[in-house]
Structure 1
């Protein structure tokens, strides 16, 4: 709060009424010719009875960058938490509608929460920020008691999904697994599930074509009641991913087909995993 005339040509500790006798953490940004844009933190003290000032200058450019990244990560985390809470609320409401007893509701709701948590674990441990489709499929089926190579097979190229798409895909695989355990291929020792996908190149980019086919079990009712699970599998996922989905129940179990566009980061190269 001093004028230009009062400021130029005087010592910093002479400004105003002497309140600048010392100053702490005064940040200055400057464009240097050799090292570029930097942020410097200044701390000053007047040496007693001398017209001299002790000035400490600290380069805090990287610290400020780190703080900015932390702030961005916190914002992203808050956004994800809000989305997850929204999913949990939606799951609770839809699960309640499909079950008449509290015990049935708790069993179904706990299973869906577990599926949500498993995908979140994959998201948190993914160093690249993307999650492999194969990891989602194997994690959900293994959690459902199925053994890779014995109860199900997986075949397809490496496909990296964003956290948002991975969450939607994880919920879908969970619902398919739950249905197979109750009514389909995982209900009997002879049942098998063939899971495969491929990536096609189209004019608009890459298109993932995902398939889930059950064998070895005789399903008496090929038109079971359609509830929240089938809504997730057929409608919600296709809407979220901008694609299309079809679920059919045959005498041998569920037959599910899903197609949706992939981001350009996916190359369609094999991940080297055995089916």
Structure 2
């Protein structure tokens, strides 16, 4: 077999490397101040064809004014002292675009130790810098939301404790609010993490209130984007309004309705009007509970909210300071008018003949799931926290498996594959927001999102086990 004969100087491969790596090459003569470059170098500075001349002064003219002194100092040190040249800076290209570059170089010395020239490269790193800025913003927003969430949880516990007369009441109230927070988070960490749409928030809450979506009429354009803080507040507010309507308001009676109108106003403001009709006569609450606190304070500086306990039904007027219409005019109509089936009640004894295996790496969540299922009469295997433990335990032939997707630093793909081969049904427990992100071995199984309601967990397990 003949071998490929490479050019002795490797020039063709060097040219290929430079062309595909988007690297600009430069060589600065210390005596004349003139610089040689390749074409990519000048393109980085906004010139599609090479300039006739290039020098340190020409280069510095492109550097952002606030960075120019720092870059000039680095250049002078490199020429005078033979120091390596390395920095990142903003530039304004010939076409006016602002970009980020990374430049590196090393000195070449004469026999007497003087710098004869600098050679190096320059790379456009604008996309990297933009990603860094985005990550910093998202990290800052995440820290803010986590802190707010803990503060909200503290308030929820305090208010629920004052209002509840039994432990069951306290738990039910707290779990409802935690569910609302979790649904809000699913919207906020979607693809456009900084903003969420009113459509997404409405659909999220309608799904949580299965059976009542056909009695909420939406008038107006829901394709409006809100900030993360405003979206989180709206999710909590709509949850409270729906909860109150179902328990005490228009949706608690046959024939009651809720009309939600959406209107965009000057200056980017958005007005939402929640109006209930056909329900019982309402009156202001005699005491301030957690629901009232959320309604009056959730928006903070994102807008205002007023309540009118009118004889015909509650009217809630919400004004959001800043909204932005999403450019998706072809989007389908909001599906609030389609009746949804009520979830079937779960009998406490329906798990009595099931051997259920639990695979969950978080010990608290695992014990919680096991206790829920044992209370329903099931024989529980586990919880197991690793793939190795789970695969070993499959020898006991469970009737069904509750399987977490991520187990510490490993995924449960191998467990799911073995379950599929042995025809053992399983339900997926996942913190993933998008089922499409899950591996194909999980996609035929029912998915229970964390955090979950006890009834949802039991219902999915029973329905999947019974086939």
Give the structure 2 partner of residue 26 of structure 1.
Answer: 86
Once residues 229 and 30 of structure 1 are traced to their aligned partners in structure 2, the CA distance between those partners, rounded to angstroms, is 50
* Residue 236, structure 1, aligned to residue 287, structure 2: no
Give the structure 2 partner of residue 127 of structure 1.
Answer: 192
Distance 1:103 1:50, change over 3 A: farther
1:210-225 aligned at under 5 Å gives the runs: 210-215=273-278, 217-218=279-280, 225=286
The structural deviation recorded for 1:112 is 0.5
1:8-27 aligned at under 5 Å gives the runs: 12=82, 26-27=86-87
Distance 1:33 1:174, change over 3 A: closer
The structural deviation recorded for 1:117 is 1.4
Pick the structure with greater CA Rg.
2
> 1:239-265 deviations in whole A, cap 9, x for unaligned?
544424114275x7x512214254263
The structural deviation recorded for 1:114 is 0.8
Distance 1:57 1:126, change over 3 A: closer
The structural deviation recorded for 1:40 is 2.4
Once residues 77 and 133 of structure 1 are traced to their aligned partners in structure 2, the CA distance between those partners, rounded to angstroms, is 21
Once residues 54 and 8 of structure 1 are traced to their aligned partners in structure 2, the CA distance between those partners, rounded to angstroms, is 8
Once residues 154 and 26 of structure 1 are traced to their aligned partners in structure 2, the CA distance between those partners, rounded to angstroms, is 58
* Residue 39, structure 1, aligned to residue 98, structure 2: no
2:270/2:323 contact within 8 Å kept: no
Once residues 46 and 9 of structure 1 are traced to their aligned partners in structure 2, the CA distance between those partners, rounded to angstroms, is 10
> 1:124-175 deviations in whole A, cap 9, x for unaligned?
22538433324323321320223432x3322222343222112112111111
The structural deviation recorded for 1:41 is 3.5
Q: CA RMSD of the aligned region, Å? A: 3.9
1:30/1:38 contact within 8 Å kept: yes
1:146/1:186 contact within 8 Å kept: no
Once residues 65 and 206 of structure 1 are traced to their aligned partners in structure 2, the CA distance between those partners, rounded to angstroms, is 29
> 1:5-63 deviations in whole A, cap 9, x for unaligned?
xx686672xxxxxxx6xx5x82253757647664323254879x998889542415323
Distance 1:249 1:128, change over 3 A: same
Once residues 8 and 224 of structure 1 are traced to their aligned partners in structure 2, the CA distance between those partners, rounded to angstroms, is 74
2:226/2:323 contact within 8 Å kept: no
Gaps of 5+ in 1: 1-6, 13-19
SS of residue paired to 2:324: coil
Count of residues in correspondence between the two structures = 250
The structural deviation recorded for 1:68 is 3.0
